[in-house]
Amino acid sequence: MDFKCFSIQDQCFSAKDNSETPSQKRIAYKKAKVTEIPRAVVCRNNVATGSFDEHKNDIHAAFTDNTDVVFKETKSKKINMFLRAQNREFLGMSEVDESVWNGNYEFICMGDPQIGMGDQKKEEEFSKLAVEFINNRKDRIKFVVICGDHTHNLEDMWSKGDLEGGRKKRIQELAAFKDIYSKLDHTIPLVCVCGNHDVGNKPTEKTIQLYSKEFGDDYLSFWCGGVKFTVLNSQIVQGLSPSDELSIAHEKWADEEFERKYEDEPVHSVVMCHIPPFCWDPEEKDTNFNWPKQKREIWLEKMVKANVKKVYWSHYHRRAGGKYKDLEVVVSGALGTHIRTKEVPPNHKKSRIDEINFKLSYEGFGGVEANEETSGLQVVTVSKEGLSEEWLNIRQIKKEIGAELL
């Protein structure tokens, strides 16, 4: 993606007063709701130069709360902080912006805030605490990724066939989610990854359009500090036939991304999505919590061939992880409602796979809770040697920010 900087004649409106007076200071922002945008544009004294870090405050200042950026090309285009994933890229974190290694950094990986799944008051409180924690570390954190299930309801899928009720709940849940996450510090980009509660277990063009209207593209790639991140739509992989038009387009794009060559190859290649190919072991049985084995093997091999070393997922609402060859799978626990697992009974302790399959089964389901000890997030440190994670539960987060216990 090429950066373009338009001349004064192209009129980057004044961000201060939203007037029609041309300004060389920065791009304007206005209230709007449009999901389509052009290629990224950065105006800095009418010269398009420098890295993402150099312009970080300028670029991200326009994305606070529900404000929108106006780009002047052939006509005005607008975007808000939740709609930066466009054209299969992420505005401000493209190869052009972020292909150079500038030293170690951190990012936050969260899964399943899922506002509306259980005790919504606690789910919202946990998200608010996460935002406060992140803002307190704003000088260390380069971006935040939410690996799916931002909210709970979608059409009538989780409202027992009540379409009108499901839509009303979704509107309310989305409003709560955006109200909370719009308070992220404006210098920290928020990358949203679609989950099954965002696009459905079997996505359709309609459900993807519903998601894209709120959060931008359902799959994309972005860069940060010399590291390439590829975001997949795992619901397409898990739930649709390979011959489905959505599957064909998704796999074609993914293959092109995995096979793409660069003048400066990425320091690391990382994959992110919602549903993991497996939670504990590549040989575990097929369940709602992983990908069908045949697809699992095909896609894991694609990643290994592309030299992907780390993948981040959620969906399981519990922490898990495993390895396939040199590829490490990291399954994050839920930020919102946690799923408890029953103790493995003796008859399922005959082998490691038996134990794992019990943990993945409905038989092993032990109920749900929004609990300070089990809900939390991952702080990921990126170095030239690799990526490492530190899990912090809500109680630890509250201790760091000095919040009172609930």
CATH number at residue 144: 3.60.21.10
Q: Is there a single domain that holds both residue 342 and residue 394?
A: yes
Q: Is there a single domain that holds both residue 72 and residue 93?
A: no
pLDDT tens digits, 219-266: 999 999 999 999 999 999 999 999 999 999 999 999 999 999 998 899
Q: How many CB atoms lie within 10 A of CB 64?
A: 16
Q: Is there a single domain that holds both residue 248 and residue 266?
A: yes
Please indicate whether residue 52 or residue 222 has the higher confidence score (pLDDT): 222
pLDDT recorded at residue 404: 53
pLDDT exceeds 80 at position 198? yes
Q: Is there a single domain that holds both residue 145 and residue 206?
A: yes
Q: Does residue 62 lie in a domain region?
A: yes
Contact 86, 216 (CB under 8 A): yes
Q: Is there a single domain that holds both residue 187 and residue 226?
A: yes
pLDDT exceeds 70 at position 34? no
Cα 394 → chain centroid: 20
406 vs 122: CA distance, rounded Å: 9
Q: Is there a single domain that holds both residue 192 and residue 121?
A: yes
Q: Is there a single domain that holds both residue 177 and residue 225?
A: yes
* Mean pLDDT, rounded, for 340-355: 95
Q: Is there a single domain that holds both residue 149 and residue 253?
A: yes
* Mean pLDDT, rounded, for 378-392: 98
Contact 142, 224 (CB under 8 A): yes
pLDDT recorded at residue 159: 87
pLDDT recorded at residue 314: 98
Q: Is there a single domain that holds both residue 311 and residue 347?
A: yes
13 vs 35: CA distance, rounded Å: 20
Burial 176-195 (b: 16+ CB within 10 A, else e): bbbebbbbbbbbbbbbbbbb
* Mean pLDDT, rounded, for 83-106: 96
What is the DSSP code (8-state) at residue 53? T
Domain C-terminal end among 50, 65, 80: 80
Q: Structural domain of residue 2, as residue ranges?
A: 1-80
Domain C-terminal end among 32, 61, 80: 80
**Residue 269: strand pairing partners:** 228
pLDDT exceeds 50 at position 176? yes
21 vs 184: CA distance, rounded Å: 30
Residue in the block written with tokens 């697809």: 295
Q: Does residue 26 lie in a domain region?
A: yes
Bridge pairing between strands 89-90 and 85-86? antiparallel
Strands (E), 5-131: 68-72, 76-80, 85-86, 89-90, 105-110
Measured CA angle at 321 (ends 315, 322), to 5 deg? 135
181 vs 168: CA distance, rounded Å: 20
Q: Does residue 389 lie in a domain region?
A: yes
Output Rg (C-alpha) for the chain, integer angstroms: 21
271 vs 302: CA distance, rounded Å: 11
* Mean pLDDT, rounded, for 90-113: 96
pLDDT exceeds 60 at position 33? no
Q: Does residue 343 lie in a domain region?
A: yes
Number of structural domains in the chain = 2
**Residue 6: strand pairing partners:** none
Going by pLDDT thresholds of 50, 70 and 90, the confidence category of residue 397 is very high
Domain C-terminal end among 24, 45, 80: 80
Poorest-pLDDT segment among 49-53, 93-97, 296-300, 341-345 = 49-53
* Mean pLDDT, rounded, for 289-305: 97
Q: How many CB atoms lie within 10 A of CB 218?
A: 26
Q: Does residue 223 lie in a domain region?
A: yes
Q: Is there a single domain that holds both residue 63 and residue 124?
A: no
Counting residues of the chain whose pLDDT is more than 70, the rounded percentage is 80
Q: Is there a single domain that holds both residue 76 and residue 180?
A: no
Tell me the C-alpha to C-alpha distance, in Å, between residue 179 and each of 86, 169, 183, 280.
22, 15, 7, 35
Q: Does residue 406 lie in a domain region?
A: no
pTM of the predicted model as reported, rounded to 2 decimal places? 0.82
**φ and ψ at residue 220, rounded to 5 degrees:** -170, 175
Contact 314, 148 (CB under 8 A): yes
Give the tokens for residue 254: 């993914």
Q: Is there a single domain that holds both residue 187 and residue 272?
A: yes
pLDDT exceeds 60 at position 1? no
